[in-house]
């Protein structure tokens, strides 16, 4: 689309490059304010400034947000908190101590790239002076993670609701893959819901180009990780799609995969040897057409997942999995190739 189709800037009469967006005037305004704020970190300051100067629309702008603008703290989850910013709820994600600053800024860059339709919106960066930690300021999705939404609302979800959620998740993942990236940490805890049918991808901390694989640092949630990742540390776009398949199973049944057993080396070995969750086996024995026709009827009688029955060693947060490089796993890898 030609820039002139967005009309002229009312101030300088140059062509807008986006809806009501004049690059010349906005760049001057941002530059005039650079001396009025600082993150106290030159690299973060430069990152924010560059983002502002290269933005082509309001949605691409992030800002430095002083921590004193937030009030009414409420703990959300590991790595995340809800704060009040004026009359708006936002979610603040802490910079994980295991993540370097470059990784933190890279995560923001990718989330900005897909924000809005595919990924949850990000507004800026702040710093908690008490904890001395930088935090990402994001839109707060009122239903929380997809996992939490399924826990609270599964009985109210129709077949159409479930399909619509999966449709948006699939579109978002496809968009990530179209740009040559892999998410690498795709599970129901990293998808959030603004409504019962609008799902957004979040947590791009492990997102990388397809060509980049670090076989020594394997992170993830075991039930959502593809066998080739568990076997060889190999991440691909196909392994993201495997993870999406596990999310589909979860949306249709309300049960997270392998909820009733420990998420340890034994589970890794079982997955690499072809074991599937018992509910997946059940659904594989049914005809898809009949499943669709009876889905809403079955919903009424389906025993919804109760988080209280989850095995205490079933871990649904992403973590470093150093044991995947152990001798035991390598032996299984050799056996599965025969």
The residues that bridge with 82 in the sheet, in sequence order, are 74, 91
Interatomic CA distance for residues 247 and 261, integer angstroms: 18
Task: Give the number of other Cβ atoms within 10 Å of residue 337's Cβ.
Answer: 8
Identify the pLDDT of residue 335: 46
Superfamily of domain 146-336: Transferase(Phosphotransferase) domain 1 (1.10.510.10)
pLDDT (0 to 100) of residue 162? 93
Rounded CA separation 216/195 (Å): 38
Pair 104, 95: CB distance under 8 Å: yes
Residue 184 near residue 244 (C-beta atoms within 8 A): no
Q: Determine the Cα–Cα distance for residues 26 and 202; give it in Å rounded to an integer.
A: 28
Mean pLDDT by 10 residues, the chain (338 residues): 70 81 86 93 95 86 92 69 64 69 89 84 91 89 92 89 94 95 95 92 90 77 93 92 95 90 91 75 53 56 63 70 58 45
- Please tell me the distance from the alpha carbon of residue 91 to that of residue 121, in angstroms, as a whole number: 10
pTM over 0.75: yes
pLDDT at position 4 is: 63
Annotated catalytic residue 185: yes
Cβ neighbours for 253, distance < 8 A, ≥ 6 positions apart: 279, 283, 302, 305
Topology, domain 37-139? Transferase(Phosphotransferase); domain 1 (1.10.510)
Given 11, 185, 203, 214, the catalytic residue? 185
Burial-class residue 172 by CB neighbours within 10 Å (0-12, 13-18, 19+).
buried
Residues whose CB is less than 8 angstroms from the CB of residue 205 and which lie 6 or more positions away in sequence, other chains included: 96, 99, 103, 107, 185
Report the distance separating Cα 199 and Cα 162, nearest Å: 10
pLDDT number for residue 169: 96
Each domain of the chain, given as residue ranges in start order, spans 37-139, 146-336
- Predicted confidence at residue 322, as pLDDT, reads 65
- CB under 8 Å to 11, separation ≥6 — which residues? 22, 25
- Asked if 231 contacts 336 with a C-beta cutoff of 8 angstroms, the reply is yes
For β-strands 63-64 and 122-128, DSSP reports them as: parallel
Residue 40 is encoded by which pair of tokens? 């106290």
Domains 37-139 and 146-336 fall in the same CATH topology: yes
Structure tokens at 100: 């370097």
Tokens standing for 235? 């991440």
**Which of helix, strand or coil describes residue 241?**
helix
Q: For residues 31 and 25, give the distance between their C-alpha atoms in angstroms, rounded to a whole number.
A: 10
* Whole-Å CA distances, 24 to 30, 32, 315: 10, 12, 50
Residue holding tokens 């930088």?
Answer: 134
CA Rg value for the chain:
22
Assigned token pair, 168: 């948006």
Rounded-to-10 torsion of CA 24, 56, 134, 172: 180
The burial of 263, by beta-carbon neighbours within 10 Å (0-12 exposed, 13-18 middle, 19 or more buried), is given as buried
C-alpha 39: how far from its chain's center? 25
């Amino acid at each position: 689309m030609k820039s002139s189709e967005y009309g002229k800037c009312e101030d300088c009469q140059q062509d807008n490059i986006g809806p009501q967006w004049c690059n010349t005037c906005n760049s001057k305004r941002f530059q005039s304010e650079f001396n009025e704020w600082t993150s106290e970190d030159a690299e973060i300051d430069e990152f924010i400034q560059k983002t502002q100067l290269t933005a082509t629309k309001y949605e691409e702008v992030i800002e430095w947000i002083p921590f004193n603008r937030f009030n009414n703290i409420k703990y959300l989850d590991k790595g995340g908190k809800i704060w009040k910013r004026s009359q708006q709820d936002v979610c603040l994600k802490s910079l994980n101590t295991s993540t370097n600053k470059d990784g933190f800024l890279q995560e923001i860059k990718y989330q900005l790239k897909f924000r809005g339709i595919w990924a949850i919106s990000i507004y800026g960066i702040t710093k908690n002076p008490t904890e001395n930690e930088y935090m990402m300021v994001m839109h707060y999705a009122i239903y929380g993670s997809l996992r939490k939404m399924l826990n609270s609302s599964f009985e109210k979800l129709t077949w159409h609701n479930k399909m619509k959620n999966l449709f948006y998740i699939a579109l978002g993942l496809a968009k990530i893959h179209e740009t040559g990236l892999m998410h690498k940490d795709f599970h129901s805890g990293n998808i959030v819901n603004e409504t019962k049918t609008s799902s957004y991808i979040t947590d791009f901390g492990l997102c990388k180009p397809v060509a980049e694989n670090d076989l020594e640092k394997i992170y993830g949630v075991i039930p959502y990780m593809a066998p080739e990742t568990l076997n060889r540390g190999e991440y691909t776009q196909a392994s993201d799609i495997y993870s999406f398949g596990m999310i589909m199973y979860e949306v249709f049944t309300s049960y997270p995969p392998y909820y009733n057993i420990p998420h340890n080396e034994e589970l890794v070995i079982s997955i690499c040897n072809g074991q599937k969750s018992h509910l997946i086996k059940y659904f594989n024995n049914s005809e898809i057409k009949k499943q669709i026709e009876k889905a809403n009827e079955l919903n009424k009688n389906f025993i919804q997942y109760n988080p209280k029955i989850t095995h205490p060693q079933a871990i649904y947060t992403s973590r470093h999995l150093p044991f995947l490089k152990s001798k035991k796993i390598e032996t299984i890898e050799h056996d599965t190739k025969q």
